[in-house]
Amino acid sequence: MTDERTSGGHRLGIDIGGTFTDLVLAAPDGAIVTRKVPSTPDNYSRGIVDGVQALLEQTGIAPADIVEVVHATTVAANTILEGKGARTALLTTKGFRDVLEMRRLRIPELYNLAYRKPPPLVPRRNRFEVDERVGAGGDIRRAMDDEEVRAIAAILRAREIEAVAVCFIHAYANPDHERRAAAILREELDPGVYICHSADVLPEIREYERTSTLVVNAHVGPVVERYLGTLTAELAAVGVRAPLRVMQSGGGITTVGGAIRKPAHIVESGPAAGVMASARLAREGGYGNVISLDMGGTTAKAALIEDGEPVKTAEYEVGAGINISSRLIKGGGYAIKLPFIDVSEIGAGGGSIVAVDDFDRLSVGPQSAGAEPGPVCYGRGGTEPTLTDALLVLGHLNPRHLAGGELQIDRERAERALHDKVAKRLGRTTEEAALGVLAISVATMTRAVKAVSTYRGRDPRDFALLMFGGNGPVVGAAIADALDIGRVIAPTAPGVFSALGLLFSTSEYDFSRTLTGDVVDAYETLELEATRTLIDDGHPAGEIEITRFADMRYVGQAYELTVRVPGARPDLEHLAVAFADEHRRTYGHAADDPVQLVNVRVVARTRARNGGPPPPNGHANGRAGVRDVVFAGHGTRPTPILHRASLAGGAEGPLIVEEYDSTCVVPPGWHARLDDLGNIELTRPGR
């Protein structure tokens, strides 16, 4: 259903990557125009505005014709990774000052005796105890003294604290003390100080996860607020005054106000957009079970989609560097107990730097050349060879230009850098060195795929591999060969697929609460809150859909699994069976032990927008022709260079499809065709 607020106008999706910022403009009739511009890490808003102005000039539409802007951003995650968050303080219950220090007994590097856990986002001197206490049932055991909070506020003011997190024990059962403390702080501190409390962000049990989540929320809050404020103002300055929406980590979009109130929900905003687009394609294309792999200039991100729905997790850590998604590898970052699309991220992208160490060992990434200076072949000052340079030497990429001619390519410079810094060191030819770079990159990316499939008891051979991002379709078949996957899909507009996914996402909010009373009352309370939030965002009540979930565990178990709750009234016997099935699927076994319902949860979303995938991209990347391409195990082959439409009747590899935003490599032994939606489908005979 088309939102009444955005009908009759153009909608703009914006996704910032490590190398390029992708923009997709959708017209009311469903036609799209895409644009890729270099990202500007010093000020990401500048790259966005540059791209918007280029799109407006290209299409001739007026800025006022844009009625909605949807944005995926990594600003929250980067804030933590780069250590540039706000100066944050924590108010907590007396006796719980060091929860952030103690964490959980989880060590991500089991045999590393020198491992050091990351320092808390709030140093101990800025963590303050309040002599109050609420019981687990919500009873007040020690009343809070307002004057004690006012005294702490004076200290915070003197220390020029920029953000405050208020997290009292058992506030999920009774938030009165937290809310009053937050109100006092707002009275006593400067209006620019960011203040949040746990009952508003995560009203669930477990003091460490709840405290850590809230501290992350406070730490990135002022940065997110400034960024979104600046972006809104700069878009308005060029005439785009449409509402700005932001992708959340769980796959729904929220308003700017929602993102500012709860910025912990947008930490993994960027990867979520591509997964949501993949889920939609899996449903509409009839593929069902899909592994999505988004490979850009810096990283490759994998996610699992089963029966057309992305797999989600409520256990996530940010700030640990590259994330290998696994329930068993934790403790390397800052815990966030909020709904996230479960994404495995590897430092393997087109800009991954190739290096040879003192022992003549070849490595690719995780360091990246990024947008500046970029790969050597970009001619922007890069001197270290990258995966893109190796692919260029092998003939997999256009030797003259990319992005429809907007990015000129210097193949000779790339070949020289790969020869001098890699091939010569290893005593190999430049071609052999390039094949080695590709092999290592493929091996690295298979780890991301296995993390969301094999490590969860799923056989990747039972899934189609959906490759997108600027470099995904280039290496998709090679990754599938390594994992014995028989089907690869390259969607329409693969290089800007994540930005496209933003335009088909719906508003969505997740509300949860630890169960302390009647279960029916708990669900009804959450549903009322969820409905009111979406109505406040401007959505009619008739467009809102509510789905119930329950977080359950065996009595005495430490962690929960989430199951769907059908019907209006929860049937605990039915839920126990559903929990056992989920436990068996997740861990390989189930028990006859009693089952406990821990948290009630509702997801409120607006109805999905109409409109299928766009027609194949109209931009051409180079002329159709033939060039020599090197394939692993097959040597050098004269390879046809085609446009996507040429595959309507099917074709046998080797061949290469060049487009404005990406390149799809079809090696020997693979068959390529267009499906009914215009996606390129690669298959191998016998699979």
CATH number of the domain encompassing residue 16: 3.30.420.40
Q: What is the pLDDT of residue 165?
A: 98
CB 375 within 8 A of CB 351: yes
DSSP string, 295-351: E-SS-EEEEEEETTEE-EES-EEESSSS----TT---SSEEE-S-EE-EEEES-STT
Of 350, 336, 327, the closest CA to residue 76 belongs to 336
Report how many domains make up the chain.
4
**For the chain, first and last CA: distance in Å?**
38
Residue 666 lies in a domain: no
Query: Within this chain, do residues 68 and 212 fall inside the same structural domain, yes or no?
Result: no
**How many whole angstroms separate alpha carbon 642 and alpha carbon 666?**
11
Query: Within this chain, do residues 96 and 184 fall inside the same structural domain, yes or no?
Result: yes
pLDDT of 661 above 90: no
Query: Within this chain, do residues 16 and 93 fall inside the same structural domain, yes or no?
Result: no
Of 168, 154, 175, the closest CA to residue 90 belongs to 168
- For residue range 270-279, what is the model confidence (pLDDT) as tens digits? 888 899 999 9
Compare 75 and 149 and report the one with higher pLDDT.
149
Band (pLDDT 50/70/90 cuts) for residue 331 is low
Contacting residues for 592 by C-beta, under 8 A, at least 6 apart: none
Q: What is the pLDDT of residue 192?
A: 95
Last residue of one domain, picked from the residues 471, 501, 531 = 501
Enter the pTM of the model: 0.87
Residue 677 lies in a domain: no
Band (pLDDT 50/70/90 cuts) for residue 581 is very high
Band (pLDDT 50/70/90 cuts) for residue 6 is very low
- What does the pLDDT average to over 378-393? 90
pLDDT of 288 above 50: yes
Query: Within this chain, do residues 119 and 167 fall inside the same structural domain, yes or no?
Result: yes
Tokens of 517: 């009373």
Q: pLDDT exceeding 70 applies to what percent of the chain?
A: 93
Compare 504 and 211 and report the one with higher pLDDT.
211
Residue 662 lies in a domain: no
Query: Within this chain, do residues 220 and 302 fall inside the same structural domain, yes or no?
Result: no
Query: Within this chain, do residues 163 and 295 fall inside the same structural domain, yes or no?
Result: no
Band (pLDDT 50/70/90 cuts) for residue 236 is very high
Band (pLDDT 50/70/90 cuts) for residue 615 is very low
H or E segment to which residue 77 belongs: helix 75-81
Q: What is the pLDDT of residue 619?
A: 42
Residue 675 lies in a domain: no
Q: What is the pLDDT of residue 21?
A: 87
Residue 589 lies in a domain: yes
Q: What integer best gives the mean pLDDT of the chain?
A: 89
Last residue of one domain, picked from the residues 266, 297, 323 = 266
Q: What is the pLDDT of residue 618?
A: 43
- For residue range 394-419, what is the model confidence (pLDDT) as tens digits? 999 988 867 665 677 888 998 999 99
Residue 169 lies in a domain: yes
Query: Within this chain, do residues 199 and 280 fall inside the same structural domain, yes or no?
Result: no
pLDDT of 149 above 70: yes
139: left (phi over 0), alpha (psi -120 to 50) or beta: beta
- When mean pLDDT is compared across 244-258, 404-418, 584-598, the lowest value belongs to 404-418
Residue 524 lies in a domain: yes
Query: Within this chain, do residues 254 and 290 fall inside the same structural domain, yes or no?
Result: no
Tokens of 616: 């194949």
Query: Within this chain, do residues 167 and 88 fall inside the same structural domain, yes or no?
Result: yes
DSSP alpha helix (H) spans, 159-265? 176-188, 198-201, 207-237, 256-261
Query: Angle at CA 143, nearest 5°, toward 138 and 149?
Result: 115
Residue range of the domain that includes 129: 81-225
Residue 512 lies in a domain: yes
- For residue range 512-547, what is the model confidence (pLDDT) as tens digits? 999 998 999 999 999 999 999 999 998 999 999 999
Query: Within this chain, do residues 51 and 131 fall inside the same structural domain, yes or no?
Result: no
pLDDT of 609 above 90: no
Query: Within this chain, do residues 14 and 158 fall inside the same structural domain, yes or no?
Result: no
φ, ψ for residue 130 (rounded to 5)? -115, 130
Q: What is the pLDDT of residue 526?
A: 95
Last residue of one domain, picked from the residues 590, 606, 622 = 606
Query: Within this chain, do residues 575 and 596 fall inside the same structural domain, yes or no?
Result: yes
Band (pLDDT 50/70/90 cuts) for residue 572 is confident
- What does the pLDDT average to over 69-85? 88
CATH number of the domain encompassing residue 324: 3.30.420
